[in-house]
Structure 1
Amino acid sequence: MSKQSFELYQREGTENWMVRYYQVVEGQGRKLVRKSTGTSDRDEAERVARKLVRGQPVEKQPKAKPVSDGQVILVSQLFETCRTTIWKHHKSKETLRSTIKILNAMCGHESIKAIDRAYMESMKAQLQPKYAESTIRRKLEVLSSALRHATHCKHPDGTYWLESKPMLPKFDINNNRERVISQKEEAAIYAAMDARIENEPTRAWRTFKIYYMWLQDTLGRKSEILAVNDSWLEEYKPGKWVLNLPGAVTKNGRPHTVPLTERLVATLPKLRATMLPNGNFFPFKPAQAWRWWSTVRADVKKQSKGKINVDDVWIHTTRHTSATRLLKDPRNKIEFVSKMLNHSSIAITLDRYAHVQLENKQVLADSLDAMNEGRGLD
């Protein structure tokens, strides 16, 4: 950390953000300072931290007004209520915080009774130029979850804050058409990252490249791999390692064990040499990882002079690509690939990758054609 920089962190078992930074003390030089920001809201914590680093007085921002009998309840007030109740132990607080920030900007000033199906349709339309359909759905599901909570909350006179929750808009999401990265595109992606490593040796591009490799070889989700900690690794026999993901970081809440490929095992010395004090391998926040990935995509287009375009490739696409490649090999049983994906049931895998299974069945049909050659109707 430089003299004017700071780092936010949360102690285990607490919600409020702490800040650590260096302060120049007369006669003592630079001294590491740790203070509480007094808030569990990340945006407010950053505001307080900047004031503390500059030595400025910190005035508390007014919170959303508490709900009282007969008062119009704003969406922003409902979010604050949910944050301290049903979302208190949310496992993806960073993502939730980011989503609430976006939703508050769109409808935080509105009464919760003003949010109907038509209003949510208009929100969907506003989000479409920037986000994929599945991402928009997840954001509006957060709003829907809050409105559902409002139907269970009562005023002192016994009336509910909201009589009924509006239906979500319909979303045109077809997972079977999700993008698959070609071998040529993959080579260009690695070339772009290698160029960044060479041109910007002081930045964490090598670690980001390793992060990309872990996404590919574990079939993990972005947030799961970002959270990987050295304590989650186990050498179950000489030279063979597994990653034990706790349920707290997986999408379905179930612990998940993933065997590591040889190339991932080869990255462990580098990761352990640069890991964070808490044992985490990757120093990126979700938003930061996305920004770095956007840089890689732009580099691919620039280096190929527009001949290779991966603008529609997301970080999650690596997971789908690896699963598709595994399933295209008939030797790999779908139940094992389903376990690698940590799907809750094999039915999810069968539904999502039905197009791959059809290709495999076509191979069998072609084999039957070969065996029946010369034995047609005529």
Structure 2
Amino acid sequence: MRTGQNIYKRKDGRWEARVPLGIRANGRRYFKSLYAGTYREALGRKNAYEKNIPSVKETLPVPPNTFSVAAYGWLAASEQEWKPATYVRYRNYLEKYILPQWKLLHLREIDQKVYDALIALLEKSLSASSMQTINTVISGSLKHTLKQLPVTCKKFVSERRMTPRDILSKSEIFRLRSHLEAEEDLTAVGILLALYSGIRLGELCALTWADIDLETRTLYVRHTLQRIQNRNRLDGEPKTMLQIGLPKNKKERAIPLHEQILSVLEQTRRLYLPSDYLLSGTSTPVEPRRMSSRFKRILKECGLRDIRFHVLRHTFATYSLESGMRTKVLSELMGHSSVKITMDRYVHLSNEFKEAQMNNLQYTDSTSISRQKNGQNDAEAC
């Protein structure tokens, strides 16, 4: 409830008075907040604070042609195209790593030498993945304002490669399945579904029973659930919040249900409403962090090694390919934008499969070669 003089009543019952102190590099004002139990007390504290400083002067806005202004302009113009978590990540990287060096740098001053100096400084402590994000922010900001990129960005390749430990072995799958099938809770159902569909953890947490069509035997991935930074947080509010949005790449997809999981879902479905979440059985979802903890507890109960929930997705992709699934089909089921992503990131063929494929190799034997030669001679004679 606002009452004038930049004083308003908060939801927690306190009164907050704001004293303007200046304008940040992104063009937004920043304030000193003063709190009190009543409006008059807040006004008194505000007046006293203003008297104790020589003058409350607004700093001049950052010149419009600086990298800082260009970067915040790019963020504002592109925000609607991204998922909230993507926007937060780009802004955090900008403010933590780039602006400390480039905040007041004029766009005309950014050349290859300046770029290389920043990259040399940051890559000492950041991973290849983080450096790729740095490049995205820099190139996006410069292209948005200059319509071209005045530097050549260094390419970074992630050092992490898939290993056999990134998928479950057949014996591990058997032990995990045996344990889950003996359980009668929704957590077990969710893990089995992930193992037979390859969906991401956030997508699993966002599933409701309305997303599972047992008549057509189809799972529809329409949303994802994730915990993101609370950008407009007020005092007393949590720093993060749960957010349900579209899946990665903003693409919904349909996944045919495997026979092994279909019977489990049919037995469980009748107990819940279509609007109930799969993992909770209520109108409140289970957040990914909690589901991940449950998964690790089950691994411990099974006597299996400690792995991430995402390994189920790797396992699904690898064994699907080894079972003869076409890569294009697998890529669409995984929700990837290209087949290359599927093959590069999620498929690690087992040595057993490679050996079986190697045994399929056949060279023409000597008898066949002789027959081919005789056939050629007969043809020439004719």
| TM class by smaller structure | 0.5 to 0.7
Does the aligned pair in 1 maintain the 2:211–2:220 contact within 8 Å? yes
Q: Kindly indicate whether structure 1 or structure 2 has the higher relative contact order, using CA contacts under 8 Å at least 6 residues apart.
A: 2
In structure 1, distance between residues paired with 2:308 and 2:271: 26
Residue identity opposite 1:337 in structure 2: L
1:242 matches 2:200:
no
- Inter-CA distance 274–186: structure 2 relative to 1 (3 Å threshold): farther
Does the aligned pair in 2 maintain the 1:106–1:123 contact within 8 Å? yes
In structure 2, distance between residues paired with 1:59 and 1:284: 38
- Inter-CA distance 111–217: structure 2 relative to 1 (3 Å threshold): same
Residue in 1 that maps onto 2:285:
283
Does the aligned pair in 2 maintain the 1:147–1:165 contact within 8 Å? no
Q: Secondary structure at the match of 2:285?
A: coil
Give, in angstroms, the shift of residue 275 of structure 1.
2.8
- Inter-CA distance 164–333: structure 2 relative to 1 (3 Å threshold): closer
* 1:292-307 map, 5 Å: 292-293=291-292, 296-297=295-296, 300=299
Give, in angstroms, the shift of residue 258 of structure 1.
0.7
Residue in 2 that maps onto 1:336:
329
1:182 matches 2:172:
no
Residue in 1 that maps onto 2:256:
259
1:111 matches 2:102:
yes
Give, in angstroms, the shift of residue 218 of structure 1.
1.9
1:326 matches 2:320:
yes
Aligned-pair identity in percent equals 15
1:81 matches 2:73:
yes
Does the aligned pair in 1 maintain the 2:220–2:252 contact within 8 Å? no
Does the aligned pair in 2 maintain the 1:243–1:258 contact within 8 Å? yes
Cα RMSD (Å): 5.0
Residue in 1 that maps onto 2:141:
150
* 1:1-378 map, 5 Å: 52=10, 54-58=12-16, 64-66=24-26, 70=63, 73=66, 80-90=72-82, 92-98=83-89, 100-101=91-92, 104-112=95-103, 113=105, 116-120=115-119, 122-128=121-127, 137=129, 139-154=130-145, 160=146, 164-165=150-151, 167-168=153-154, 170-173=156-159, 175-177=161-163, 179-182=166-169, 208-237=187-216, 240-243=217-220, 245=222, 249-261=246-258, 262=262, 263-269=264-270, 272=273, 275=276, 283-285=285-287, 289-290=288-289, 292-293=291-292, 296-297=295-296, 300=299, 309-310=305-306, 313-330=307-324, 332-351=325-344, 356=349, 360=353, 362-366=355-359
In structure 2, distance between residues paired with 1:165 and 1:58: 47
Does the aligned pair in 2 maintain the 1:232–1:244 contact within 8 Å? yes
Q: Secondary structure at the match of 1:54?
A: coil
Higher Cα radius of gyration: 2
In structure 2, distance between residues paired with 1:209 and 1:123: 43
Structure 1, residues 148-198: CA drift from partner, whole Å, max 9, x if none?
A: 2332455xxxxx59963562452234554371123565678789999xx99
Structure 1, residues 233-257: CA drift from partner, whole Å, max 9, x if none?
A: 43444xx343253798343444421
Residue identity opposite 1:164 in structure 2: P
Residue in 1 that maps onto 2:30:
none
Structure 1, residues 265-284: CA drift from partner, whole Å, max 9, x if none?
A: 544456648836xx997724
Give, in angstroms, the shift of residue 343 of structure 1.
3.6
Structure 1: runs of 5 or more not aligned:
1-34, 36-47, 155-159, 199-205, 373-378
Does the aligned pair in 1 maintain the 2:71–2:142 contact within 8 Å? no
- Inter-CA distance 148–213: structure 2 relative to 1 (3 Å threshold): same
Structure 1, residues 106-158: CA drift from partner, whole Å, max 9, x if none?
A: 44433255873453454444344xxxx5xxx2x4444433322332455xxxx
Give, in angstroms, the shift of residue 232 of structure 1.
3.8
Residue identity opposite 2:95 in structure 1: N
Residue identity opposite 1:218 in structure 2: S
Residue identity opposite 1:182 in structure 2: S
Q: Secondary structure at the match of 1:126?
A: coil
Residue identity opposite 1:57 in structure 2: W
Give, in angstroms, the shift of residue 320 of structure 1.
0.9
In structure 2, distance between residues paired with 1:79 and 1:300: 45
Does the aligned pair in 2 maintain the 1:328–1:360 contact within 8 Å? yes
